[in-house]
Amino acid sequence: MKKFISFLFYIKSFASMIFTGLILAYIAAGWLYSIVMHEQFNYTIPAIFVLQGIILALSITILWYLIFTDAVLKKLRYWIRLICFVLILSLVLTGLFLMFFTYHTDWARLWIIIAMLFVCVTAGISVIAEIYFRLTGKKYTQVLENYKKNISGF
């Protein structure tokens, strides 16, 4: 019961944080758009965006919990978790996009290209970071071996 309540608190606070971030991003993007397009910025948020925001915030929170905590995937390297996260998130976002904007095929195509690029860039960065970590790891292991030799009793 204690674990379940702490899980619920985690979901509530994380999802609230993501939702707040999405609303702020919407306001910031709308405000910038109004400056660029010389239009009056309307602070009203459409109901559909609020609904999308809630679904997205919950999806990200649950995904994060499943991938980045040790609740399901134990002792997994972070780069694998990161690639899994962006891949699944992109699929969720694409699904949401297609669900809410079925008739905007040009936008959908553009979104899919952006999502794929996002996944590829993240995967590339993760792999490069992993190579760097492994090289650094060899140095760390060498230092560890020296440390072991210098301590009596080993």
What's the min distance (Å) between Cβ of 2 and another protein?
Answer: 11
How would you label 52-63 residue by residue, b for 16+ Cβ within 10 Å and e otherwise? Answer: bbeebbebbbeb
Residue from 9, 78, 100, 101 touching another protein (CB under 8 A): that is: 78
For another protein, the closer CB: 35 or 121: 121
Rounded Cα–Cα distance for residues 16 and 61 (Å): 9
What one-character-per-residue DSSP string does 34-100 give? Answer: HHHHT-PPP-PPPHHHHHHHHHHHHHHHHHHHHHHSTTTS-S--HHHHHHHHHHHHHHHHHHHHHHH
- Applying CB under 8 A, the span of 6-14, 33-41, 55-63, 129-137 interacting with another protein comes to 129-137
Question: Does residue 83 touch another protein according to CB under 8 A?
Answer: no
What's the min distance (Å) between Cβ of 154 and another protein?
Answer: 5
What's the min distance (Å) between Cβ of 9 and another protein?
Answer: 19
Rounded Cα–Cα distance for residues 81 and 64 (Å): 9
103: its two tokens: 């008739």
What's the min distance (Å) between Cβ of 147 and another protein?
Answer: 5
Question: Does residue 6 touch another protein according to CB under 8 A?
Answer: no
**Interface residues with another protein (CB under 8 A)?**
75, 77-79, 82, 129, 133-134, 136-137, 140-141, 143-144, 147-148, 151, 153-154
